[in-house]
Structure 1
Amino acid sequence: MLDVLKTTDIKAKTEVITISDAERAREEALRQRFSDFWASATTDLRTTYEAFISASPLVNNVTVEAAHQEAVQGWWVRPEQASSAQAILYIHGGGYVLGSSQAYRGFVSQIVSRTGVPAFILEYPLAPEASLPTAPNTALAAWDWLVAQGFRKIAVVGDSAGGGLSLVTLTQLGKGNSDVKPVAGVVFSPWVDLTFSGASMVDQSVVDPLIGYDYLKDCAQKYVGSFSASDPLASPLLGDLQKLPPLLIQVGTDERLLDDSRQFANRAAQSGVPVQLEIWEGMHHVFQLDVEHIESARTALDRAAQFLLAAFNRG
């Protein structure tokens, strides 16, 4: 009699990507830049974070345009030529308490330039001024708005907390009645578990140069409001993942959210979702932002673009 493979034995397709000595030196120099930047900051945290994220350069071959609708606000980043049926919904990071669509225009332009697909960067209300379920509801409203604009092939992309919100959105869309389903999801260092079950959250051997456990705990408390941290709207890791589209998850080894990515990728694989997990050796949280400084960022974005284009071509 054949042994039946238990779903708990299923693991995500994982690739560990190593870096050269020269790249490691560039990464160390970048970390010193991070340290100097934050040490010299004189403005409030939100303003400082805006400057930090805005350093990702805007490419030349795109246009940017603000969108101000009643229920949906954000920025469009469009290539010179694009299909009228394809779009990316981008959901930015910042621990649910920081960040804006405007600050992310440069970074998202890097994705748009590589894919030739226009991206809408969503502006969602931040905590503590707004708590659950405001952000997930805003993301679903943005999806409906894109569909109403005539887009029929849409991927959802996000980073950090925005990566978690992207996965919440994809999970909800999988259960919804929309006749347009996501073609794919791409998430960079997603925050998927606000119950903090991942070992890397407190592992002293993990040296995260950008975010800490105490900061994340504070962000989570502000964001969940009256909800439980174990609610799937807060922690997509704990939701029903069976109807998710194909996923690409990229994460660095040197970050508190490493095990969030590992756990989510494996749970998605156990649920039958096609998922690729890339673990980048020696890389910091959302290293893809630093396209000007490290080769790994450029290569990771190239790989993400290839994944998205394959998904759009299948969809």
Structure 2
Amino acid sequence: MTLVLRASKARAARRFARTGGPGPVAAPAEPPASLMKACVVTKRDFEGLPAYEIVPKNAPKPTKTLLYLHGGGYVSPILTAHWWLVHRLAVANGIRVLVPFYQLAPKGTHRDAFPRLLRYYEKALTSAESVIIGGDSAGGGLALALAAQIREAGLTSPARLLLFAPWLDVTMKNPDIGDLANTDPMLTLPRLIEAGRLWAGDDSPDLPSVSPINEDLAGLPPIEVFVGTNDMLVADCRKLATKAGTPVVVHEYPGAFHVFIAVVLLPESRRALAEVSAVIASAG
């Protein structure tokens, strides 16, 4: 989840130059006690970074796996709210959830992320009957770009993509963002643009692997998007739905903020999570 405060472009650039992110980068949040109580949580090292496996207790052996990529603008680590969402997805649907970390910018870029995530996905395929890929915010954009990399590598396609307020274009140049940039209570354009520049590294931020709104959707699995109308990223979610190549369904929630679904006790979050459960149940 990209939790950022409003700032001028100059202030944002200075902060990034000083800290490499939208503020002091904290350590990744540990899985909370509630998740540990409800699920078997296994932390492993995968090629130098943590990767978690979450399996619900007291439930049949999962037949479906969700590979989940956390948000944070590509510069911030996993938050407790991400774990709340992972907890709910695992327990409510009786599925295994895999949470591989990826190297954050500026130490890592999109070029560092994909080879490792592709190898992790291949490993997941060997132990799952069906794999869904999901993610929120930057993790949602990364999930879509990863699906394209999977297609190019000739690997078995994921059964579905679940994208929660995905960050699809790091340039933020969609003119439909317009007034959304002034009303969004959580996101700010200067910091997003600078974070996207860091994630792109020496490459153009328009590359599909950085801004997957530019990706060819042909051959990708069906895509389900969940986003609030008070989230400036809704503009590019709507744009994604106009692209040909694979079915894209955008579930919009009036008045909801960025990655509202992670605040699992909200009424609109509960409604969205019920829709997500129906998608998971229907995925092959």
TM tier relative to shorter chain = 0.7 to 0.9
1:159 aligns with 2:132: no
User: Which of these residues, 255, 269, 275, is aligned with residue 297 of structure 1?
Assistant: 269
Q: CA deviation at 1:82?
A: 4.3
Determine the C-alpha separation between the residues in 2 that align with 1:227 and 1:129. 15
> d(CA) in 2 for partners of 1:192 and 1:47?
25
Which amino acid is 1:155 matched to? I
Report the CA distance shift for 1:160/1:238 in structure 2 as closer, same or farther (over 3 A): same
CA shift, 1:85, in A, is 4.4
1:46 equivalent among 8, 25, 37: 25
Aligned to 1:285: 258
8 Å contact from structure 1 (residues 88, 120) kept in 2: yes
Please report the TM-score for the alignment, with normalisation by the length of structure 2. 0.84
CA offsets per residue over residues 69-124 of structure 1, 9 Å max, x none? 33663111111234454211000000000023887333201111111110001110
Higher RCO, Cα 8 Å, sep 6+: 1
TM-score by length of 1: 0.76
- Counterpart of 1:69 in structure 2 is 46
Alpha-carbon contact 1:206-1:255 (below 8 Å) kept:
no
| Cα displacement (A) at 1:265 | 1.8
Contact 2:32 2:83 in 1 (8 A): no
The reply to whether residue 107 of structure 1 matches residue 85 of structure 2 is yes
Kindly provide the CA deviation profile for residues 3-46 of structure 1, in whole angstroms up to 9, marking residues without a partner as x: xxxxxxxxxxxxxxxxxxxxxxxxxxxxxxx99xxxxxxxx632
**Letter matched to residue 300 of structure 1:** A
- Residue 198 of structure 2 corresponds to 222
3-state SS in 2 of match to 1:196: coil
How many angstroms apart in 2 are the aligned matches of 1:111 and 1:204?
29
Assess, with a 3 A threshold, how the Cα gap between structure 1 residues 101 and 291 changes in structure 2: closer, same or farther: closer
What do residues 228-255 of structure 1 show as CA deviations (whole Å, max 9, x unaligned)?
A: 1111110111111111111110111111
Alpha-carbon spacing, 1:45–1:260, altered in 2? closer, same or farther (3 Å): farther
Please give the alpha-carbon distance, in whole angstroms, between the structure 1 residues aligned to 2:74 and 2:116.
13
Q: In the alignment, is the contact (CA less than 8 A) between 1:174 and 1:181 conserved in 2? A: yes
Aligned residues: 263
- Cα distance, 1:173 vs structure 2: 1.6
> Alpha carbons of 1:205 and 1:174: their partners in 2 closer, same or farther (altered >3 Å)?
closer
Structure 1: gaps spanning 5 or more residues: 1-33, 36-43
Instruction: Determine the C-alpha separation between the residues in 2 that align with 1:190 and 1:168.
Output: 11
Task: Supply the RMSD in Å over aligned alpha carbons.
Answer: 2.6
- C-alpha separation between the residues in 2 aligned to 1:117 and 1:97? 28
Q: Is the 8 A contact 1:72 1:142 kept in 2?
A: no
Measure, in 2, the Cα distance between the counterparts of 1:186 and 1:56.
26
- Equivalent residues of 1:206, 1:254 under 8 A apart: no
2-structure distance, mates of 1:309, 1:72: 31
Deviation at 1:177, TM superposition (A): 1.9
Which has the higher mean CA deviation after the structures are superposed, 103-112 or 214-223? 103-112
- Seen in structure 2, the aligned counterparts of structure 1 residues 289 and 133 have a Cα distance that, compared at 3 Å, is same
* 1:307 match: 279
2: CA distance, partners of 1:220 / 1:290: 25
Which of structures 1 and 2 has the bigger CA Rg? 1
Q: Is 55-64 or 163-172 further displaced after alignment? A: 55-64
Q: Residue type of the partner of 2:275? A: R
Cross-structure match for 1:22: none
- The correspondence for 1:138, drawn from 91, 109, 116, is 116
Q: Counterpart in 2 of 1:276?
A: 249
